[in-house]
Structures are given as structure tokens and as C-alpha cells.
């Protein structure tokens, strides 16, 4: 039963389309020029639609031949053309044993990737076999995400056909879903028959695909839904000269500055360890552009950074043994970039866990410590701050949807 299931699904995905690589088809031909397809023909609307989309074409003699059978390879090509995925490059390769060198091999690969078709359990695809109605409908259904139904519900939908008992067990629910969604088409004079195992012809396959194209606008399968999502256009990242951060790496459209990176900032006020109080605020600014090796700007010049004095130890009268630990409340402006803390420490002693263990951020970071310096910071002085955690900055921004 499993083998039969795989066989049928594989057959479905290939049929009506006449590929450009096939020598016996002509591309530039409209439906009005098909002598065998007048405007009152039952397949005229579907064939007109698909011809306009260059999904189906006529033969060199100008005929469309709506009653001619189609192969699995032809239908696979037609299906991906109808869905607009004919030109897509796919990352996955399906190694069917009998499609290498076949004109439709690439098209079969694409149809397989998007879940429209499958091969047989022995690894073959049979691209030259004619496709049946039930197989073709399965391909159409595979392009969609139909509502789940059970066997009893499926029988209810297909019981209107006198030959519904010919449907194999594996296809019962699929047939019911096709009927429920209105994907079926029955040839004139055959309205009460499903004819699941009859070889499908070009005209009715055009009708199937016409129905599929309309339904996929509403309930596409997952891969097609992703493909149909609006594509976004991105601005080129800004470039400039500046202070190069060698250890920056990329995460999609983001630049990531790792934890522990030193960022020299300019302090905008005098801070004296003899007088300053813990919790006192200060302002720092970026004195230049912080850029990647490729000169992409990750933090621009002039960004204001708010901070506070986290810890102070007063220096002794005759010894320069005091220190200050400074932390920030943000590293970027308020234009949607994430807030993050950085820290600087100056003085004789390391700003380690024993001194500032009450701050969980400070306990897991290292500090640049300048030993023995005077215990004040001049206005405009640069101080090395250290990132306490990685800083992720979006450098490639969306411009508009296309």
C-alpha cells in the first residue's frame, strides 16, 4: 500500500505543460489561434489563462489537442510554471534513477522540492508514463494546505460519483478534499463519474491547474507560502572611516560586537574620586565611528551614552590607591537599538567580584584598570569601557517591500 501511495503521488506531479526544451512544441501561440479550441470549448477559459502565463502551449501545426494524454514529466513542468516557481534554484537534490538526462529532470527536481510530486519506492520517477486523473489531482492538492477530514467525511463528498469505489484506500481522503475544495473537473457527459484511474488529457489538466492557481492564493502549502511572502529590499550598510573593531562578526543582517570588547568613550564631565558619590550620573559620547574591518558603521560618532558611578573607593592622602567603577545604562541611542551595559574601572585595585559582587553584570566581566593614576577624569577625557555582553546591531536595514 505504501508503494502504491508513493507511486500515485509521483505520477501526479508531471503532465500538461509543454516545456521549451521539447522540440515538438511552439511557445509563441495564443489560445485564439488554436483551431481545435473555439471560445465555447469547455477548456477554453483555463487554456487561455495558462497560455497567457506561458504554462501551456500548442503544437507546430497550431493545434492545442485538448484530448491528448500528457506525461508525468510534462505535468511536473506545467505545475511549477503555473505556480511561478519554474525559475527557482533549489538546495535539495532528488536522485531519481530514471530522470538523469531527461529533458524534464530539473523541473521534476523543483516540483519535488516544493512537495508537489514524489517518486516510486524503488527510487524511479517514470517521467514518460501518462498521468492519471487521480494522480494529477493529488499534485494539485499537494500545492495546498487543505482542512483535515476523516474517511467518513471523504466518502460523503465523493459518494456523488458512481465509480467512487475505484478510488484506492490511500487516496480516499485526498479525493474527498479535492471535491470539498472544488478542484475536480469532469468531462462533459461524464459528470457522474470520477474516473480516477483514467489517463488525464491536456484540456482537463488545464482545468485542474486553473483551479489550483486560484486555491493556492488562499491555502498554499508551507513552502509555497514562504515563497509567496513579500520580498524585502535592504539598504546598503553605511560605510565610513573610524575606530576599527577587529573582532566583529555577522549574524545575517546584524553585526555582533563580542563580550569583552573595549570601547573608548569620551566623558563629558569631570569626575573626581575624592568627591564623587556612588550613583552619580555622567554622560559619555562616542568620539569617532566604531566600524568593522569592512568599514561598516556599527556605532556612529557622537552617540550619547548615559551612565553612573557604580562604585568608588576614596584615595588616601598620600597614596593613589582609590578607584572608580563606571557603568552605562545604554550603549546606543533610542532609534530601536538594544540597550546594553558597559563598564570602565580606574584605580589601583581591580574592580573584581569582591568589590562589586552585588551587580550580576559586573561579576562576569573583566576590566581595564590603570594603576596608580590620579583619581579624577577630566571633561573630554577618553576612558576605555568594556562590553559586559555581546552587542548585536542591525547594520542592514529594510528599505521597503517589493
Least confident of 116-130, 175-189, 205-219, 308-322: 308-322
Q: What is the pLDDT of residue 333?
A: 47
- State pLDDT tens for residues 166-177: 998 888 999 999
Say yes or no: 54 and 147 in one domain: yes
What's the domain count of the chain?
A: 2
Q: Is residue 160 part of a domain?
A: yes
Three-state SS sequence of 36-96: CCCCCCCCHHHHHHHHHCCCCCECCCCCCCCCCECEHHHHHHHHHHHCCCCCCCCCCCCCC
Q: Is residue 234 part of a domain?
A: no
Give me the percent of the chain exceeding a pLDDT of 90: 41
The backbone region for 66, taken as left when phi is positive above 0, alpha when psi lies in -120 to 50, beta otherwise, is alpha
Position 331 confidence tier, pLDDT thresholds 50, 70, 90: low
How far, in whole angstroms, is CA 135 from its chain's centroid?
A: 30
Q: Give me the domain span that covers residue 366.
A: 243-398
Say yes or no: 101 and 125 in one domain: yes
User: Of 228, 263, 285, which marks where a domain is finished?
Assistant: 228
Say yes or no: 194 and 91 in one domain: yes
User: Of 228, 256, 278, which marks where a domain is finished?
Assistant: 228
- State pLDDT tens for residues 255-308: 888 888 888 888 888 887 778 888 888 888 889 899 999 888 888 888 888 888
Q: What is the pLDDT of residue 103?
A: 95
Q: Which residue has the higher pLDDT, 375 or 178?
A: 178
Q: Write the CATH number for 285.
A: 2.40.128
- State pLDDT tens for residues 387-398: 877 888 877 765
Mean pLDDT of the chain: 78
Say yes or no: 55 and 204 in one domain: yes
Say yes or no: 181 and 325 in one domain: no
Say yes or no: 329 and 377 in one domain: yes
Say yes or no: 157 and 268 in one domain: no
DSSP 208: H
Q: Is residue 235 part of a domain?
A: no
Buried b (16+ CB within 10 A) or exposed e, 355-368: bbeebeebeebebe
Say yes or no: 223 and 254 in one domain: no
Q: Is residue 236 part of a domain?
A: no
Say yes or no: 50 and 129 in one domain: yes
Task: Report the C-alpha dihedral over residues 240, 241, 247, 251, rounded to 10 degrees.
Answer: 0
Amino acid at each position: 500500500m505504501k508503494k502504491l501511495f508513493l507511486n500515485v503521488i509521483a505520477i501526479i506531479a508531471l503532465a500538461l505543460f509543454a516545456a521549451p526544451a521539447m522540440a515538438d512544441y511552439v511557445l509563441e501561440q495564443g489560445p485564439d489561434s488554436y483551431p481545435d479550441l473555439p471560445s465555447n470549448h469547455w477548456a477554453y477559459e483555463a487554456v487561455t489563462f495558462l497560455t497567457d502565463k506561458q504554462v501551456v502551449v500548442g503544437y507546430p501545426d497550431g493545434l492545442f489537442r485538448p484530448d491528448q494524454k500528457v506525461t508525468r514529466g510534462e505535468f511536473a513542468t506545467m505545475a511549477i510554471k503555473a505556480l511561478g516557481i519554474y525559475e527557482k534554484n533549489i538546495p535539495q537534490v532528488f536522485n531519481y534513477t530514471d530522470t538523469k538526462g531527461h529533458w524534464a529532470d530539473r523541473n521534476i527536481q523543483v516540483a519535488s522540492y516544493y512537495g508537489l510530486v514524489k517518486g516510486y519506492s524503488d527510487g524511479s520517477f517514470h517521467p514518460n508514463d501518462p498521468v492519471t486523473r487521480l494522480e494529477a489531482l493529488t499534485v494539485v492538492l499537494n500545492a495546498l494546505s487543505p482542512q483535515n477530514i476523516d474517511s467518513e467525511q471523504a466518502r460523503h463528498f465523493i459518494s456523488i460519483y458512481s465509480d467512487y469505489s475505484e478510488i484506492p484506500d490511500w487516496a480516499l481522503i485526498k479525493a474527498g478534499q479535492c471535491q470539498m475544495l472544488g478542484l475536480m473537473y469532469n468531462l462533459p457527459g461524464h459528470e457522474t463519474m470520477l474516473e480516477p484511474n483514467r489517463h488525464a488529457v491536456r484540456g482537463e489538466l488545464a482545468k485542474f491547474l486553473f483551479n489550483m492557481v486560484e486555491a493556492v492564493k488562499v491555502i498554499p502549502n508551507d513552502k509555497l507560502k514562504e515563497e509567496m511572502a513579500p520580498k524585502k529590499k535592504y539598504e546598503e550598510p553605511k560605510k565610513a572611516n573610524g575606530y576599527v573593531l577587529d573582532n566583529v562578526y555577522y549574524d545575517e543582517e546584524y553585526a555582533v560586537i563580542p563580550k569583552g570588547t573595549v570601547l573608548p568613550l569620551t566623558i563629558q564631565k569631570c569626575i573626581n574620586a575624592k568627591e564623587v558619590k556612588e550613583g552619580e550620573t555622567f554622560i559619555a559620547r562616542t568620539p569617532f565611528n566604531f566600524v568593522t574591518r569592512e568599514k561598516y558603521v556599527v556605532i556612529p560618532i557622537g552617540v550619547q551614552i548615559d551612565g553612573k558611578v557604580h562604585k568608588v573607593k576614596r584615595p588616601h592622602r598620600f597614596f593613589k590607591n582609590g578607584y572608580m567603577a563606571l557603568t552605562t545604562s545604554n550603549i546606543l541611542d533610542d532609534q530601536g537599538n538594544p540597550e546594553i551595559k558597559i563598564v570602565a574601572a580606574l584605580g589601583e585595585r581591580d574592580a573584581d567580584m569582591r568589590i562589586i559582587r552585588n551587580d550580576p553584570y559586573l561579576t562576569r566581566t573583566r576590566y581595564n584598570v590603570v594603576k596608580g593614576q590620579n583619581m579624577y577624569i577630566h571633561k573630554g577625557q577618553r576612558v576605555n569601557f568594556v562590553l559586559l555582553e555581546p552587542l548585536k546591531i542591525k547594520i542592514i536595514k529594510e528599505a521597503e517591500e517589493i
